[in-house]
A and B are shown apart, each in its own frame.
Chain A
Amino acid sequence: MASSQEMVQQKIREKAKELLAKKEVDLVIGFGEGSLPLRATPIFVRTPEEADRLVWNSFCDNNLATYIHKLSRFKLGIVAKGCDARSIMALGLEKRFQPDRIVLIGVPCQRMVDRRKVKLHVHRTGLPGNVDIITESASLPAHKAGHPADLPAKKAVKGEILRAREEGDQLIVEGNDFSVSLKKDDFLYASCKACTHRNPIKANVVVRDRVDETPLTDPYAEAKEFERMSPEERWNFFERESSRCIRCYACREACPMCYCAECFVDSSAPKWLEKGVAPSDLEFYHIVRAYHQTGRCTGCGACERACPMNIRLTYMTQKLNQEVKDLFDFEAGTDPATLPPMATYKVEDKQEFIK
């Protein structure tokens, strides 16, 4: 009996085949099998036969809307989760593509698995049953587990995850010398747990029934956690996170809303910041990129998922999203009739901050 996930996968393939056969789209952007456990990868399907490469699972965590900018001259079919569909709507309002040139294959989202959480769990314990929800602490002790003097003889380096598969609500993770069954819900992305729009808005076709949109955590949990810190703690946290940035711009490229022909980091006249890893430049980059998302970010988490150095990023945009909601009652990509507040002006806009 096919799982609901397999049925979703089948529906996606069927729809893609149909769109391609009828030439309603030139290509379909979706997910294919990843080459590593716990991963899927974006694929670009151009024939009905190729559509059998499309997969659907809890590792389809990229936001495929980011590819619209390179391919907007084609008629596109895009597999979109709730957050991705919001991005596409936001991009539509910003006129990044012709209105009828995109067909959304909407997938009400089961929430995606955070592979880093899984890896850290295995790395720490490697044993079944000991489920530890990973939270980043604001400071690391000077002498950490990982220091040679602390390493017990046998546990120096934990086993690598070689295979992972989903079985219902369980995630079976295996290596050379371990096999662990984990509860999927314990290993979801924070942005997925906070999500309030898991059903893709304005999808041309939806491949499964509507899902309940009650979030598992407070939708602004990360922003509130940050707010509970004192100003000094906040600065220390931000400084520590941004200090390991390597200016690879994976966050920027993964983000569907970052599409400027010349990004502010590349401007030479005026030169806003340098291209090195001096702390002030790293901090400048992170703060300004977050601000450029004001009223535009759909909380998809693609930035944080893309970062090779595991830098926390979504807490900043979540905070800005919260403020936009409070000030303008606006959430990006949820209403096709409302223009983004940073791009418009209304006489009724709140202005208590002007003294």
Chain B
Amino acid sequence: MSLKPATLSKKEFVSFLKQVMQTYDVIAPVELAEGVSAYRKIESPEEVSLTFHNTQKSAKEGFFPQSEVMFRYEKEGNRTQVTSTEEVDRPRLILASRPCDIQAFSLLDQVFSAKEYTDVYFLKKREMTTIVGFACNQPLSTCFCTSTGGGPFTREGSDIFLVDLGEVYWVEFLTEKGKALSKNEFLREASEGDAARAKKLEEEALKRMNVPVHLDGIETKLEQMLENPIWDGIHEKCLGCGACTFLCPTCHCFDIADEVSQKGGQRVRNWDTCLFSLYSMETSGHNPRPSGRERTRQRLMHKFNYFPKNFQKIACVGCGRCILYCPVNFDIRQAIREINEK
């Protein structure tokens, strides 16, 4: 039985969130500096900031933090006591994640929730989290979510879906998890006018989507291209930093390290990128991906050939962050165009 949509006045946003925070740990966009935002667990509703087109760091941090303790250990004589940190005590809520980041969650699910080896840290958070999606009224010219199977108003993956109508937010309850918040006293029933406005914004947003990026068949195209000279040119300006990888909602590589303290320590996982030379460096000093050419090829092949081979979906949601923040203006759309033209 689907619930009727509601509206939430922006003036009552703080009160609404205060009530939500009585039950949920809320992870929301926080402005770290003017124009720079990321998802953080908030202590008070006042920390939330929603003026971004999109955050720099994506909402994947809600399930896959950049640094995460996996377990702590304490040495007592010859024995070692190990305490895992996998448990999630309180229900969680990811507030205002764009549809592209939410589409990425389902891609990350494929990697982390595999039956064989279940990544408990990811999965336990996933199970305990309600996702509040946030429609894009004004997609950027660098956005190409519609080319990856998503869209600025795509509701798939959200438990609750918000649309900014101006004075109020339009609120849809899409799943059982979402419905659990419908009793909040600050939600009002939506009017037909609200519904019409939301629909109009959706149409306008779709019209604004820029030139589509042609990703059909790219997996097959790349199949024969591993030794293609295209890689000699594509990689040249890439600095081999991790900006694209760490801002990307779908990238999931990580490193594991032990951090030692006096009586024991902790095993931590940190984000890593295949673009660092150290990533594939072997102890002997031999590196099977010795230069930027191999590493850039690896990143692009993984996103558009290897991942689809395993999971039938490309590992890109068209959020455009890599285009916006690359220090040398490496544009993945241009790379895709070059690949298609070969």
Contacts and interface: CB of A to CB of B under 8 A. Distances in A.
A touches B in complex, CB < 8 A: yes
Interface of A: 34-36, 39-44, 62, 66-67, 70, 116, 119-120, 123, 134, 136, 140, 142-149, 151, 153-154, 156-157, 159-160, 162, 176, 240-241, 243-244, 246-250, 252-254, 266, 274-278, 305-311
Given A119-B35, A140-B31, A160-B138, A248 B242 contact: yes
Contacts of B141: 160, 162
A146 B242 contact: no
8 contacts: A42-B236, A62-B327, A147-B49, A157-B52, A157-B137, A160-B53, A246-B57, A253-B327
A278 B268 CA distance: 11
Given A42-B237, A44-B237, A248-B246, A274 B48 contact: no
Most buried by A among B33, B257, B323: B33
B305 to A, nearest CB: 23
B241 interface: yes
Contact of B243 (A34, A248, A310): A248
Interface stretch (B9-17, B152-160, B220-228): B9-17
B241 A254 contact: yes
B262 to A, nearest CB: 16
Q: Which 9 A-B pairs have the closest CB atoms?
A: A276-B67, A306-B327, A253-B239, A146-B51, A248-B242, A41-B329, A146-B49, A308-B325, A153-B166
Nearest to B8: A148
Contact of A41 (B49, B237, B276): B237
B323 A36 contact: yes
B36 A154 contact: no
B189 interface: no
Interface in B43-58: 44, 46-53, 56-57
B272 to A, nearest CB: 8
A147 to B, nearest CB: 6
Most buried by B among A42, A154, A252: A42
Q: Is the interface of A mostly helix, strand, loop or mixed?
A: loop
B239 A149 contact: no
B14 A254 contact: no
Interface in B64-93: 66-67
A249 B278 CA distance: 13
Contacts of A147: 13, 46, 48-50
Most buried by B among A142, A147, A252: A147
B211 to A, nearest CB: 12
Nearest to A123: B35
A250 B327 contact: yes
B246 A42 contact: no
A93 to B, nearest CB: 23
Nearest to A153: B166
A70 B232 CA distance: 13
A143 B46 contact: yes
Contacts of B164: 156
B31 A274 contact: no
B38 A250 contact: no
B319 interface: no
B324 interface: yes
A34 B32 contact: no
B10 A148 contact: yes
Contacts of B44: 142
Contact of A249 (B35, B50, B241): B241
A250 B13 CA distance: 37
A247 B46 contact: no
Contacts of A144: 31, 49
B36 A309 contact: yes
Contacts of B34: 120, 134, 136, 140, 310
Most buried by B among A34, A41, A162: A41
A181 B268 CA distance: 50
Interface string B20-41: 0000000000011111101000
B176 interface: no
Given A254-B241, A275-B257, A310-B33, A157 B10 contact: no
Contacts of A39: 329
A35 B330 CA distance: 8
B291 to A, nearest CB: 8
A79 B74 CA distance: 57
B258 to A, nearest CB: 10
Nearest to A281: B67
Given A42-B328, A146-B51, A275-B255, 12 more contacts: A36-B331, A120-B34, A120-B35, A123-B51, A147-B13, A148-B10, A148-B50, A156-B50, A159-B138, A160-B140, A306-B241, A308-B246
